[in-house]
Every structure is written in C-alpha cells, then in structure tokens.
Amino acid sequence: MLRMALAATILGGVSGAVAAEEDPWQQEQAAKLARQLADQVADLRLTMKQAIPGTVGTTRRNRFRLEEDIRMIRSAAKHLAVQLEAGKGREETLPTARNLGMYIRAARVDASGWVPPEWIETKLGAARGTLEELVPLYGVTLEEVYRQTPGPSVGAKP
C-alpha cells in the first residue's frame, strides 16, 4: 500500500513536470500584456464622457450601467497588472483575468445600440484585442472566459 502511494506520488510529480515543460508560464509576457491592458483602459471613463454627451431617461440608466462596467474593467485591469508585476502566478491571477474578460464583454453589450460604434471598437475593441493575446497564456480560450461569471456583486444573495 505504501509502495503504491509512493509510486503514485512520484508519477504524479513526473506528469506534472512534463505538463509544465509543455506549457510553460510566460510571466514576463503576461505582465507586459496586463500592463498594456491597464494603460489602454485607464482613460475609458473620460473618453466615454467625451464620446457620449449628457443623456436622459433610459439612456441615462444605460450610461450608469456602462460607467459601472468601466469602473470594474479599470479596477480589474490595474489589479491584474499589479499582481503579475509582483510575480503572482497563473493560478493566482486567473480569476482576475476571467473577471476582466466578463467585464469587457458586459461593457460591449451594455454599450451596443446607443454608444457610437467607433468608440466601442477603438476603446473596448482594443482592450478585447489585448485580452485575446493574454488569455491563451492561461491555457484557456476567450470563449471559456466569457462563460465564466464574475464574483458576486456587493449585497448579492448566495
């Protein structure tokens, strides 16, 4: 019994090492892309206010929703860049990367139909493009990221 446990431990370690060699974590590249993404979204709120003048009624409600999406994008992008620059690894930062993808997707959906398409493509499209480069480093696809849901909202009931 002890021999089988020891053999399983050794084989598990070997298979883990082989998997790590096949798919090495590219810390520097991930940190570079995360910083690029954080820089891209830093001015989203300001450019949104310039692209979309004051609104009323339903559009006002949509604007508030988009502003919240943007706040979440900026916060998650900055947090991800800081984590990766501090040397945090793939597993530690994957939840933040997934949430960031969900926030970008939510902003694109919330902006469609009432925000100038040029703004959506230049600002949110650029962020999505950088995310498309970053996500494969985690060993997941963008579609997998989009299927995830962000953490619970403040005050949400379990």
Q: pLDDT, tens digit, for every residue of 70-102?
A: 999 999 999 999 999 999 999 999 999 999 999
Distance CA 107, CA 29 (A): 26
Give 25-147's CATH code, choosing from 1.10.12, 1.10.3470, 1.10.287, 1.20.120.
1.20.120
Q: DSSP code of 56? A: -
| Number of neighbours of residue 4 by Cβ within 10 angstroms | 8
Domain spans of the chain, in order of start: 25-147
Does residue 141 register a pLDDT over 70?
yes
Task: Average the pLDDT over 129-141 and give the result.
Answer: 93
Q: Which tokens is 116 given? A: 């100038």
pTM: 0.75
8-12, 54-58, 152-156: which range is least confident on average? Answer: 152-156
Q: Using the CB atoms, write b or e for 74-105: b if 16+ within 10 Å.
A: bbbbbbbbbbbbeebebeebbebbbbbbbbbb
| Number of neighbours of residue 129 by Cβ within 10 angstroms | 12
